[in-house]
Amino acid sequence: MSLFRNTRSVAYKFGDEQSYSLFPNITSYVDLLDQLKDQVTLYEKVTIQEGERPDQLSARLYRGNPTYHWTFFLVNDHLREQGWPVSETAIRELATKRYPHWTVTTKTNFSVFSKFLPGDPVEGLTSGSTGVVVERNLDLGQIVIQSADNFNAEIIVSGTTAEEKNINRITTVADSPRQYNAVHHYKNSDGVIVDIDPFTQNTSGLTPVTYLDRLMETNADLKHITVIKPKNINSVVTEYYKKLAQ
């Protein structure tokens, strides 16, 4: 069932095209969205189950009918903007693809060095691990390194000559996890994001939120949606298509 199945078409000229094309009147769709959202008595809150598809949720709510899945996107801005929630396994796979590198956390003020800039080579003196700086976060004392190796808690140097490596070295590595397990930010007891001093790394009383945690939280938030009440679904859908056809 298409959102624009009964929508009146109007003539549009796309880009540099010389001729007009018939296209659904999206402005009527936007107006109708606002009208429907104002009628709060039509809705109720539900939670999408783990791994549940839109058609499956529709069938669960509306007496086995899977065709009302499009209404979930109609009344939930976050679903239209961010997509349907996925499984925990899918989130972990996404995290490893989106954040595949290593993150070195240090109290050393590496901003004073001439190296450790994006694109600079780095090396672990003990392990011999090598890599390239991808990005850095001075607020958290982090350097993201692209490497096939693991940069453990050791002295890390940067540069292509012995002199450069002697000058540009980080002697205190607090942590070096995979990028998706690195801290994205810290929250206080009220759940508010707060800054830390990167040179002391004092995080007492704070809760770390990793990149993976952040993806998990976003995905969990997507599961809480507003739906049209089962007793109202038929009348709302009928009125919806009637207005679109006007």
> Among residues 98, 68, 51, which one has the least CA distance to residue 229?
68
Task: Give mean pLDDT, residues 184-200.
Answer: 96
Residue 3 domain flag: no
Task: Give mean pLDDT, residues 205-231.
Answer: 96
Distances in Å between the alpha carbon of 211 and those of 67, 98, 100, 101, 187?
36, 10, 11, 12, 13
- Residues 105 and 186 occupy one common structural domain: yes
User: Is it the case that residue 184 has pLDDT exceeding 80?
Assistant: yes
Pairing of the two strands 156-158 and 43-47:
unpaired
Residue with tokens 């392990």: 127
pLDDT of residue 194: 97
Distance in angstroms between the alpha carbons of the first and the last residue of the chain? 19
Residue 138 domain flag: yes
Question: Per residue in 39-85, pLDDT tens?
Answer: 778 899 999 999 999 999 999 999 999 999 988 988 898 998 999 99
SS (H, E, C) 101-132: CEEEEECCCHHHCCCCCCCCEEEECCCCCEEE
User: What's the structural domain count of the chain?
Assistant: 2
Domain residue limits at 238: 9-85+223-244
- Residues 126 and 158 occupy one common structural domain: yes
- Residues 29 and 130 occupy one common structural domain: no
User: Is it the case that residue 23 has pLDDT exceeding 80?
Assistant: no
Which residues are registered as beta bridge partners of 175?
105
pLDDT of residue 237: 85
Element (H, E) at 4: none
- Residues 158 and 205 occupy one common structural domain: yes
Distances in Å between the alpha carbon of 39 and those of 34, 112, 143, 217?
9, 58, 50, 29
Question: Per residue in 94-128, pLDDT tens?
Answer: 999 999 999 999 999 999 999 999 999 999 988 88
Higher-pLDDT residue of 106 and 26 is: 106
Residue 199 domain flag: yes
- Residues 103 and 66 occupy one common structural domain: no
